[in-house]
C-alpha cells in the first residue's frame, strides 16, 4: 500500500514539474544588470505613469516585484528609454551596456523570448529605415517592391516564433502591431521625402493599394498609445495629411507655424483618445517652440495649444517652455550663464566673448561625439576666423573634463564647463548635444537652434558676416 502511495506521489510531482509553465506564478518580477551605469536609478513606467523608481545596488543590479500587474507594455528608463512586454507570473531579467544601449540589451528568464523578439524587430526596423534611405528616390511601384520583401521577411520571422513558442494572444497582438506599424511608417517616410520635391509629387504614380492601410487606421488604441511604432506612425501620418492643405504655397516644412497649427487641429479632430491626443499635440507644440523664431507666432501657438489640451500640468509645461524659447529668439540677448574656465575660475558667458561666437556643447559620455564635434569646430574655425568657437562641457566633474581637454590638446582659452548644468539646460534649452548657437560679441542671438553638422551651417555663418 505504501509503495503504491509513493508511486502516486512521484507521478503527481513529475506532472506538476512538467506543467509548471502553465500554472499560476505567485510573483511577477523585473530586474537585471546595468553595465557602465549613467546614474544610480532606473525608472519603470506603465504607459505614461511612473510605477516606481529603483536604486541600483552596488553591483549595478536591480530587482522589482510587481503587485497585481496587468499584461501589456511597460518601459524602463536609465539615461535611455526602452519598452518591454510583461505578463503576470513573468520573471524577466535584462542585461544592458549603456555604451551600446539598444544593441546590447538582452533578456533572460520567463518572458524573455517575447521581449528578445521585440528587440530584434526594433533593431531590424532601425537598420531597414537607414537602408531604405537609398531607395527613397525610386518610383512608388519600385519602392513598394523593396518594402514588400522586407515585410515578407518580418512576417516569416513572426510566424516561426509563434509556431515554436505559442505565446499569449496579448503578446501576438503587440508583435503584429510592431510589424504592421513599422511597415506603414516606411511608406509615410517615403511620402515625406516625396513631398519635399514638387516635381516628383506632380509626376508620381502610386500602385492602387499603396495607401490602402490609411482607410482603416485605428486612432483610438489606448493599449498602444505609448508604443513607439504606433505613436511614431501616427505622428508622421499627420504630417503627411497636413501638407496638402498648403501644398500650393511651397514644399513641406514640418516645423513651420502654419504646418504645426494645421496639424494640431487635425489631431484634435481625428484622435478620440484624450491621452494619445494630448501626447501627440504636446510633442508637436514642444518641437515647434524649440525651433521657433517669431515671438508673436509662439504666443499664438501657446494659446491654440490651450484650446485643445486642458491638462493643467501640460499647460504649465508649455508655458514654461515658451517663456524660455521667447528669450532665445534672434535679436534677444543670450542669458549670461556662469561658466568655469580651465583654471577653475567662474566667468560670465558675456565676459569671455572676444568676437562673434559659435557656442557648441559636448559631454564625456560620448567620446565619439566630443571628438567629432571638436574636429568640426576646428574645421569651421579655420574657414571662418571671424568667429570664436567656444566648446562648453555639460558634465559635472571638473577634473575629468580638464584632463580630457588637456589630453586632447584643445585650445584651453575656448573650453569651458557650465557651473550649474541644470540652470544652463533650462535657460539655453539644451535638448541635444548637437545644438549650437551663433551670437554677436555683445551676446545678441543670431541663431539659437543650429548644428555644427547641419549642411547649412556655413551658409548661416556667411550670411551673418555679410549682414
> So where are the chain's domains?
25-110, 119-326, 338-465
Question: Is 115:259 a contact under the CB 8 Å cutoff?
Answer: no
Residue 358 DSSP code: E
Residue 379 pairs in a beta bridge with none
Dihedral angle sign, alpha carbons of residues 51, 56, 62, 63:
negative
Cα–Cα distances in angstroms (integers) from residue 360 to residues 276, 387, 388, in the given order: 35, 13, 11
Whether 25-110 and 338-465 share one fold: the answer is: no
DSSP 231-292: HHHHHHHHHHHHGGGGGGGSS--TTSHHHHHHHHHHHHHH---HHHHHHHHHHHHHHHHHH-
User: Please, what is the end-to-end C-alpha distance for the chain in angstroms?
Assistant: 104
Using a 10 angstrom Cβ sphere, with 0-12 exposed, 13-18 middle and 19 or more buried, the burial of residue 359 is buried
Grid coordinates representing 263? Answer: 496639424
Cα(263)–Cα(268) distance, integer angstroms: 9
DSSP 383-418: H-TTSEEEEEE--S-HHHHHHHHHHHT--GGGEEEE
Domain 25-110 belongs in CATH node 1.10.260: no
Topology given in CATH for the domain delimited by 338-465: Glutaredoxin (3.40.30)
Provide the b/e sequence for 16-40 (b: ≥16 CB within 10 Å): eeeeeeeeeeeebbbbbbbeebeee
Reading the chain (467 residues) residue by residue, the pLDDT tens digits are 444 444 444 444 443 443 334 445 579 999 999 999 989 999 999 998 999 999 999 999 999 999 999 999 999 999 899 999 999 999 999 999 998 999 999 999 999 999 999 999 999 999 999 999 889 999 999 999 999 999 999 999 999 999 999 999 999 999 999 999 999 999 999 999 998 888 888 899 999 999 999 999 999 998 999 999 999 999 999 999 999 999 888 778 899 999 999 999 999 999 999 999 999 999 999 999 999 999 999 999 999 999 999 999 999 999 999 999 999 999 999 999 999 999 999 999 999 999 999 999 999 988 899 999 999 999 999 999 999 999 999 999 999 999 999 999 999 999 999 999 999 999 999 988 899 999 999 999 999 999 999 999 999 999 999 98
Which residue in 125, 126, 69 sits closest to 92, CA to CA? 69
Amino acid at each position: 500500500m505504501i509503495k503504491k502511495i509513493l508511486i502516486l506521489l512521484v507521478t503527481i510531482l513529475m506532472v506538476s514539474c512538467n506543467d509548471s509553465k502553465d500554472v499560476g506564478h505567485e510573483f511577477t518580477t523585473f530586474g537585471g544588470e546595468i553595465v557602465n551605469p549613467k546614474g544610480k536609478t532606473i525608472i519603470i513606467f506603465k504607459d505614461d505613469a511612473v510605477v516606481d523608481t529603483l536604486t541600483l545596488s552596488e553591483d549595478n543590479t536591480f530587482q522589482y516585484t510587481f503587485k497585481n500587474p496587468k499584461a501589456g507594455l511597460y518601459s524602463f528608463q536609465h539615461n535611455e528609454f526602452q519598452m518591454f512586454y510583461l505578463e503576470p507570473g513573468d520573471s524577466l531579467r535584462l542585461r544592458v551596456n549603456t555604451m551600446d544601449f539598444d544593441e546590447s540589451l538582452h533578456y533572460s528568464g520567463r518572458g524573455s523570448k517575447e521581449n528578445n523578439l521585440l528587440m530584434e524587430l526594433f533593431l531590424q526596423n532601425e537598420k531597414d529605415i537607414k537602408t531604405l534611405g537609398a531607395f527613397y528616390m525610386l518610383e512608388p511601384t519600385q519602392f513598394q517592391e523593396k518594402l514588400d520583401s522586407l515585410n515578407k521577411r518580418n512576417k516569416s520571422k513572426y510566424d516561426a516564433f509563434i509556431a515554436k513558442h505559442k505565446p499569449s494572444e496579448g503578446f501576438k497582438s503587440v508583435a503584429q502591431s510592431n510589424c504592421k506599424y513599422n511597415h506603414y511608417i516606411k511608406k509615410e517616410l517615403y511620402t515625406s521625402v516625396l513631398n519635399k520635391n514638387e516635381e516628383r509629387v506632380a509626376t508620381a504614380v502610386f500602385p492602387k493599394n499603396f495607401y490602402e492601410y490609411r482607410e482603416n487606421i485605428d486612432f483610438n488604441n489606448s493599449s498602444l498609445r505609448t508604443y513607439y511604432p504606433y505613436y511614431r506612425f501616427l505622428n508622421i501620418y499627420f504630417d503627411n495629411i497636413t501638407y496638402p492643405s498648403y501644398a500650393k504655397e511651397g514644399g513641406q516644412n514640418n516645423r513651420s507655424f502654419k504646418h504645426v497649427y494645421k496639424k494640431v487641429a487635425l489631431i484634435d479632430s481625428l484622435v478620440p483618445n484624450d491621452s494619445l491626443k494630448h501626447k501627440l499635440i504636446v510633442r508637436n507644440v514642444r518641437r515647434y517652440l524649440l525651433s521657433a523664431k517669431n515671438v508673436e507666432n509662439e504666443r499664438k501657438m501657446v494659446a491654440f495649444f490651450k484650446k485643445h489640451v486642458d491638462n493643467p500640468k501640460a499647460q504649465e509645461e508649455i508655458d514654461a517652455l515658451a517663456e524660455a524659447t521667447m528669450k532665445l529668439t534672434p535679436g534677444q540677448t543670450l542669458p549670461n550663464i556662469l561658466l568655469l574656465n580651465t583654471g577653475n575660475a567662474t566667468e560670465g558667458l558675456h565676459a569671455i566673448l572676444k568676437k562673434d561666437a559659435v557656442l557648441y556643447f559636448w559631454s564625456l559620455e560620448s567620446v565619439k561625439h566630443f571628438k567629432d564635434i571638436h574636429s568640426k569646430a576646428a574645421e569651421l574655425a579655420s574657414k571662418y576666423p571671424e568667429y570664436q568657437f567656444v566648446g562648453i562641457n555639460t558634465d559635472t566633474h571638473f577634473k575629468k573634463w580638464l584632463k580630457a581637454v588637456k589630453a586632447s590638446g584643445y585650445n584651453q582659452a575656448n573650453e569651458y564647463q557650465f557651473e550649474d548644468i541644470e540652470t544652463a539646460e533650462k535657460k539655453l534649452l539644451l535638448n541635444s548635444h548637437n545644438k549650437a548657437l551663433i551670437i554677436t560679441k555683445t551676446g545678441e542671438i543670431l541663431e539659437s537652434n543650429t548644428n555644427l553638422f547641419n549642411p547649412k551651417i556655413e551658409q548661416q555663418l556667411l550670411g551673418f558676416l555679410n549682414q
